[in-house]
């Protein structure tokens, strides 16, 4: 279980530009839950992910995984248990390394990066299988540098790589936003499949309301650092895109837009 | 022939240092100026060690270790104290200048003409046949450079080496792999400066003296070698003239060594063509600029895929 | 087929590129003199520097005195390494490949580089402007050469300089010296000054700098403490001499030089080196080696035979000092204005 307790986060604290992002923000995500998060720009969606992953520090409050307080754990240590896919497909792979080398890197997560051979020859078939499951023909391009692949191919690899080793949480940060609609669809389907297969606790930030409605068993709508909608189970299943749009408009009027 | 040997010798000495610059500049994407001081560090340490009667071959290892330590210092300053990359290198470069003088016993010039070196020692005198003697230095340098190159190639294909390549390529992936990118950078800088210092040691033994000014411009030679070599023999995602000629693809490390020799050949050519001595530095910087511009243009061409 | 032709072409181009430098020494285009011998020498100078330039000029004059004249029976290859050790070594290798008859190395690092290469190629080396050939391992402690290498040292005549300062400034107690801590020659000269100063009733106040940027502050601090300043041949300090002269002039403190060029730009006087003379002396040694009269290994290194006095009356007038007549009697060169 992942828990955020009384999180406070200000940007530019102590200056005229001070901006309150979170004030006593609380969230707890049950094990195995797939949470979709929507919200306007600046509502705190991505900041929430960054706080969970440790990319940005909090001003006060605590973050727990189970009973362990990870508030002050450095980002890279938290990643032991977390897989993260970013909006930018370039963030999840190494462009100057080959597909095979990238797979080997990901496969070694959690193990020591010592002086043993970088690519374990015995694992090559396993990588090929995994790539084949993506259905993008990458299994025949093992020695091609990832930099020449398309955004969609790279994002598929990034997803594969981040979920290759045993992890507890999958963090998806608008991971389909930079892709064309067709590719986005493929990646999203893939995501659903992986999450289901590996039973991962997942938090997905998206601007695509349809994905938010179709995928996941809990839905959050963020606004000014608060969850204005938080529905799970049956109630989540009943939410339609129109409901979300309506709420969006209401918020916009409140803000005077 | 003398000139050709001379160019080879010079090129091979600096090639080891260029391998280090290849790590920082190409792999880590870290503009590391500390090589300007780790090169003389190796030379100073070697001069002092030789005078103290240390085995010449051993000085190579000591120099590598000392350079690696200095590289760690650059890395720690950058990673732990959060000083910008360029500035961390400058800090170490400046500090090492004084330290190098101390290591050399407070002297800016330490001759070791009378000491045994890896190029001149009783063993070589006894075992190298007279006809081979003029080539002995080149062969020894070739051996040292080849060993460094092969070791680096091997290392880059280990898990640790993969991580090193990843950190220059995409820092956030290294974090995603639950590894501290800072540590990886420190390791890379250590190896790079180890090579630079090792080259300094070889330089000192080859020339027969240490001089505090030997480090000036090391980084320029290193960068030029890397860029010339890579552009010539294995341009990124491009086709080199080697492949056009149907020759096999070479590794970047080989390209860097060739680059170093080509660079030294250019300088030698400029000198023997009677280039006005005062203009030599300008020529170097122009050559450098041209290569850089050409290489960035190529990079632009492949970037749309990125 | 096409491919292999291209390969051949490229290979040929590469080889011709690499070998143009090797293709023998340029033939001297003048008619040979009486004895029919012509010579080619390589002069490698470590840095661009007034005194070193004078050395080179003197060197050629010295050779000419012995009948070896550039353009007649002598071809001179000249290169300057701009204080870059790597370049220095390539310059010397280049000389060696052109099979020069002799290499002249000007300043310590160039001399060492020349020796490092020359001893493998059996090319004799003559050096000049090496302050301490023994410390540089170019000569043994007794002054004999370590190989086919000899030349001249530009060691300063320290006692003569102290004597001169005493004569001009009978009441002065302290002499200031600024030097670069990384210049090995300066270190040994400062020590020599300290050892000898007592004999002339002086005390030496020294200040070390590491770069040109340190000069103004170091000068301010030094000028607070001393009655006069004497200058060495320290490269960094000499390059910034105008700064020191300017500050000293404002405080009315005399600055003594170590060679003629320094007096020309505003030092009061110098009992020091004339690098042209030093070069001439070196040139004569080189001539002996070229003509086969003596081998380099048979000649000990030499120091300047006689310190020469030069003064600047304009500076003396500004300071309100008169240079005593007995010094004026031996003056080698007198300047009546300050060259900017």
What pLDDT, on a 0 to 100 scale, did the predictor assign at position B296?
Answer: 61
Q: Are residues C177 and C194 in the same domain?
A: yes
Share in percent of chain A as helix, strand, coil (round to 5): 40, 25, 35
User: Is C1 a member of any domain?
Assistant: no
Looking at per-residue pLDDT, the higher value among C211 and A155 belongs to: A155
What pLDDT, on a 0 to 100 scale, did the predictor assign at position A256?
Answer: 54
Q: Are residues C144 and C283 in the same domain?
A: yes
Residue of A nearest to B167 (CA): A94
**Is B109 close to C136, i.e. CB distance below 8 A?**
yes
**Using CB atoms, which residue from B155, B166, B172 is nearest to A105?**
B166
The residue-averaged pLDDT of C229-258 equals 92
Residue C19 confidence class, pLDDT cut points 50, 70, 90: very low
Residue of C nearest to B110 (CA): C136
The residue-averaged pLDDT of A148-166 equals 92
Residues comprising chain C, all counted: 340
**Is A94 close to B173, i.e. CB distance below 8 A?**
yes
Q: How many residue pairs bridge chain B and chain C with CB atoms within 8 Å of each other?
A: 137
Domain CATH for C325:
3.40.50.2300
Residue A24 DSSP label: E
What pLDDT, on a 0 to 100 scale, did the predictor assign at position C183?
Answer: 80
The residue-averaged pLDDT of C238-247 equals 91
Please give the Cα distance from B117 to B138 (Å, whole number). Answer: 14
Residue of B nearest to A103 (CA): B162
Within 8 A of B165 by CB-CB distance, chain A residues are 94, 96-97, 101
pTM exceeds cut of 0.90:
no
Checking ipTM against 0.95, whether it exceeds it is no
3-state secondary structure chain B: CHHHHHHHHHHHHHHHHHHHHHHHHHHHCCCCCCHHHHHHHHHHHHHHHHHCCCCHHHHHHHHHHHHHHHHHHHHHHHHCCCCCHHHHHHHHHHHHHHHHHHHCCCCCEEECCCCCCCCCCHHHHHHCCHHHHHHHHHHHHHHHHHHHHHHHHHHHCEHHHHHHHHHHHCHHHHHHCCCCHHHHHHHHHHHHHHHHHHHHHHHHHHHCEEEHHHHCCHHHHHHHHHHHHHHHHCCCCCCCHHHHCCCCCCCHHHHHHHHHHHHHHHHHHHHHCCCCHHHHHHHHHHHHHHHHHHHHHHHHHHHHHC
Give the total number of structural domains in chain B: 1
Please state, rounded to an integer, the average pLDDT across all residues of chain C.
86
Beta-bridge partner residues of C74: C39, C70
The total of other beta-carbon atoms located within 10 Å of residue B106's CB is 12
Å between C194 CA and nearest CA of chain B: 18
What pLDDT, on a 0 to 100 scale, did the predictor assign at position C161?
Answer: 94
Decide: B213 and B79 in contact? Cβ < 8 Å: no
Within 8 A of A92 by CB-CB distance, chain B residues are 173, 176
Give the total number of structural domains in chain C: 2
User: Is C340 a member of any domain?
Assistant: no
A16 touches chain B (CB under 8 A): no
- Residue-number span of the structural domain to which B174 is assigned: 2-215
What pLDDT, on a 0 to 100 scale, did the predictor assign at position B277?
Answer: 61
B109 touches chain C (CB under 8 A): yes
Residue of A nearest to B157 (CA): A118
Tens-digit pLDDT profile for residues C71-107: 999 999 999 888 788 888 889 999 998 899 999 999 9
User: Is C285 a member of any domain?
Assistant: yes
**Phi, psi for residue C282 in degrees, rounded to 5:** -65, -40
User: Is B249 a member of any domain?
Assistant: no
Q: Are residues C289 and C323 in the same domain?
A: no
Tens-digit pLDDT profile for residues A85-123: 999 999 999 999 999 999 999 999 989 999 999 999 999
Tens-digit pLDDT profile for residues C128-186: 999 889 989 999 999 899 999 999 999 889 999 999 999 999 999 999 999 988 787 88
Q: Are residues C231 and C98 in the same domain?
A: no
**Using CB atoms, which residue from B2, B217, B271 is nearest to C91?**
B271
Tokens for B88, please give them. 């961390």
**Is B277 close to C85, i.e. CB distance below 8 A?**
no
**Nearest Cα to Cα of residue C319 among C303, C338, C334, C306:** C338
Q: Are residues C37 and C144 in the same domain?
A: yes
Looking at per-residue pLDDT, the higher value among C26 and A158 belongs to: A158
What pLDDT, on a 0 to 100 scale, did the predictor assign at position A79?
Answer: 92
A235: which residues sit within 8 A by CB, 6+ positions away? none
User: Is B147 a member of any domain?
Assistant: yes
User: Is B175 a member of any domain?
Assistant: yes
- Interface present between A and B (3 or more CB pairs within 8 Å): yes
User: Is B301 a member of any domain?
Assistant: no
| Chains in contact with B via at least 3 Cβ–Cβ pairs below 8 Å | A, C
The total of other beta-carbon atoms located within 10 Å of residue C214's CB is 18
pLDDT at residue C18 tops 70: no
Tokens for A165, please give them. 């080793």
Residue of A nearest to B184 (CA): A113
Tokens for B272, please give them. 């023997």
User: Is C294 a member of any domain?
Assistant: yes
Q: Are residues C166 and C146 in the same domain?
A: no
Please give the Cα distance from A80 to A204 (Å, whole number). Answer: 19
Domain CATH for A125:
3.40.50.300
Distance of CA B71 to the CA centre of its chain: 13
Alpha helices for A10-150 (secondary structure H): 45-53, 75-78, 99-107, 124-134
User: Is B232 a member of any domain?
Assistant: no
Q: Are residues C315 and C295 in the same domain?
A: no
Question: What stretches in chain B show pLDDT beneath 70?
Answer: 236-243, 276-278, 291-292, 295-306
Tens-digit pLDDT profile for residues C39-61: 999 999 988 777 889 999 999 99
User: For chain A, what percent of residues have pLDDT higher than 70?
Assistant: 98
Within 8 A of A95 by CB-CB distance, chain B residues are 169-170, 306
Tens-digit pLDDT profile for residues C281-311: 999 999 999 999 999 999 999 988 778 899 9
Instruction: Tell me if residue A229 falls in helix, strand or coil.
Output: strand
Residue A88 DSSP label: S
User: Is C250 a member of any domain?
Assistant: yes
Instruction: Measure the CA dihedral A143/A149/A154/A160, to 10°.
Output: -30
Within 8 A of B159 by CB-CB distance, chain A residues are 104, 108, 111-118
User: Is B128 a member of any domain?
Assistant: yes
Q: Are residues C238 and C185 in the same domain?
A: yes
Please give the Cα distance from C226 to C213 (Å, whole number). Answer: 22
Give the total number of structural domains in chain A: 1
Decide: C42 and C103 in contact? Cβ < 8 Å: yes
Residue A78 confidence class, pLDDT cut points 50, 70, 90: very high
Instruction: Tell me if residue A7 falls in helix, strand or coil.
Output: strand
Å between B210 CA and nearest CA of chain C: 9
**Phi, psi for residue C208 in degrees, rounded to 5:** -95, 140
- Residue-number span of the structural domain to which C81 is assigned: 19-154+277-303
pLDDT at residue C231 tops 50: yes
C162: which residues sit within 8 A by CB, 6+ positions away? C193, C196, C197, C199, C200, C202
The residue-averaged pLDDT of A24-38 equals 93
Q: Are residues C60 and C140 in the same domain?
A: yes
Within 8 A of C78 by CB-CB distance, chain B residues are 277
Please give the Cα distance from B173 to B167 (Å, whole number). Answer: 8
**Is B169 close to A95, i.e. CB distance below 8 A?**
yes
């Amino acid at each position: 279980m992942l828990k955020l307790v009384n999180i406070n986060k200000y940007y530019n604290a102590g200056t005229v530009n001070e901006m309150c992002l979170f004030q006593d923000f609380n969230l707890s995500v049950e094990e195995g839950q797939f949470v979709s998060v929507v919200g306007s720009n600046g509502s705190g969606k991505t900041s929430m992910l960054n706080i969970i992953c440790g990319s940005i520090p909090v001003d006060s409050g605590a973050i727990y995984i189970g009973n362990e307080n990870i508030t002050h754990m450095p980002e890279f240590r938290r990643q032991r248990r977390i897989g993260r896919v970013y909006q930018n497909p370039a963030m999840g792979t190494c462009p100057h390394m080959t597909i095979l080398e990238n797979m080997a890197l990901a496969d070694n997560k959690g193990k020591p990066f010592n002086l043993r051979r970088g690519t374990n020859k015995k694992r090559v078939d396993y990588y090929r299988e995994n790539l084949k499951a993506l259905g993008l023909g990458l299994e025949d391009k093992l020695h091609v540098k990832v930099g020449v692949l398309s955004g969609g191919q790279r994002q598929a690899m990034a997803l594969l790589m981040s979920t290759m080793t045993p992890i507890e949480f999958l963090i998806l940060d608008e991971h389909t936003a930079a892709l064309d609609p067709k590719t986005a669809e493929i990646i999203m389907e893939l995501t659903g499949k992986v999450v289901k297969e590996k039973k991962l606790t997942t938090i997905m930030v998206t601007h695509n309301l349809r994905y938010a409605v179709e995928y996941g068993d809990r839905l959050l709508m963020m606004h000014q650092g608060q969850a204005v909608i938080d529905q799970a189970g049956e109630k989540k299943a009943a939410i339609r895109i129109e409901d979300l749009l309506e709420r969006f408009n209401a918020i916009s009027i409140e803000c005077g837009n | 022939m003398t000139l050709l040997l001379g160019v080879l010798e010079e090129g091979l000495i600096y090639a080891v240092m260029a391998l280090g610059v290849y790590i920082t500049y190409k792999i880590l994407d870290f503009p590391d100026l500390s090589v300007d001081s780790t090169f003389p560090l190796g030379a100073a340490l070697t001069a002092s060690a030789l005078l103290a009667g240390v085995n010449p071959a051993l000085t190579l290892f000591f120099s590598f270790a000392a350079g690696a330590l200095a590289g760690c210092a650059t890395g720690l300053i950058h990673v732990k104290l959060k000083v910008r990359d360029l500035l961390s290198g400058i800090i170490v470069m400046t500090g090492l200048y004084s330290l190098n003088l101390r290591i050399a016993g407070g002297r800016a010039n330490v001759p070791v003409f009378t000491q045994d070196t890896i190029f001149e020692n009783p063993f070589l005198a006894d075992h190298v046949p007279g006809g081979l003697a003029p080539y002995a230095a080149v062969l020894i340098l070739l051996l040292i450079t080849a060993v460094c190159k092969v070791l680096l190639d091997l290392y880059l294909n280990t898990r640790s080496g993969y991580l090193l390549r990843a950190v220059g390529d995409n820092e956030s992936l290294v974090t995603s792999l639950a590894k501290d990118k800072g540590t990886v950078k420190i390791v890379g800088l250590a190896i790079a400066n180890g090579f630079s210092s090792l080259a300094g040691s070889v330089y000192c033994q080859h020339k027969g003296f240490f001089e505090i000014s030997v480090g000036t411009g090391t980084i320029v030679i290193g960068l030029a070698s890397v860029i010339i070599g890579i552009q010539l023999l294995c341009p990124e995602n491009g086709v080199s003239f080697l492949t056009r000629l149907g020759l096999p693809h070479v590794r970047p490390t080989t390209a860097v060594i060739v680059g170093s020799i080509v660079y030294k050949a250019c300088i030698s050519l400029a000198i023997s063509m009677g280039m006005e001595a005062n203009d030599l530095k300008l020529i170097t910087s122009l050559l450098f600029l041209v290569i850089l511009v050409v290489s960035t243009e190529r990079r632009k061409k492949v970037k749309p895929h990125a | 087929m096409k491919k292999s032709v291209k390969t051949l072409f490229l290979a040929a181009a590469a080889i011709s590129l690499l070998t143009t430098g090797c293709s023998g020494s340029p033939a001297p285009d003048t008619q040979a003199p009486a004895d029919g011998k012509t010579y080619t020498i390589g002069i490698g100078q470590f840095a661009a520097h007034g005194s070193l330039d004078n050395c080179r000029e003197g060197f050629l004059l010295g050779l000419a005195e012995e009948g070896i004249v550039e353009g007649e029976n002598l071809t001179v290859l000249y290169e300057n390494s701009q204080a870059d050790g790597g370049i220095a070594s390539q310059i010397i290798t280049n000389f060696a490949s052109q099979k020069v008859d002799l290499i002249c190395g000007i300043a310590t690092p160039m001399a060492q580089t020349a020796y490092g290469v020359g001893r493998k190629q059996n090319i004799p080396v003559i050096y000049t402007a090496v302050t301490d050939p023994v410390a540089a391992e170019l000569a043994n402690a007794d002054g004999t050469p370590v190989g086919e290498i000899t030349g001249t040292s530009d060691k300063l005549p320290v006692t003569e300089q102290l004597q001169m300062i005493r004569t001009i400034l009978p009441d002065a107690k302290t002499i200031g010296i600024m030097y670069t801590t990384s210049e090995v020659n300066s270190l040994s000269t400062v020590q020599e000054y300290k050892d000898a100063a007592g004999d002339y009733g002086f005390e030496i106040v020294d200040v070390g700098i590491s770069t040109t940027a340190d000069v103004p502050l170091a000068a301010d601090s030094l000028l607070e403490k001393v009655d006069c300043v004497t200058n060495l041949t320290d490269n960094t300090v000499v390059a910034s001499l105008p700064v020191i002269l300017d500050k000293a002039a404002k405080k009315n403190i005399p600055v003594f030089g170590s060679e003629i060029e320094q007096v020309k730009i505003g030092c009061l006087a110098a009992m020091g080196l004339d690098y042209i003379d030093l070069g001439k002396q070196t040139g004569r040694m080189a001539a002996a080696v070229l003509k086969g009269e003596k081998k380099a290994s048979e000649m000990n290194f030499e120091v300047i035979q006689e310190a020469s006095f030069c003064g600047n009356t304009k500076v003396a007038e500004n300071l309100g000092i008169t240079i005593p007549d007995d010094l004026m009697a031996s003056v080698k060169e007198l300047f009546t204005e300050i060259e900017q």
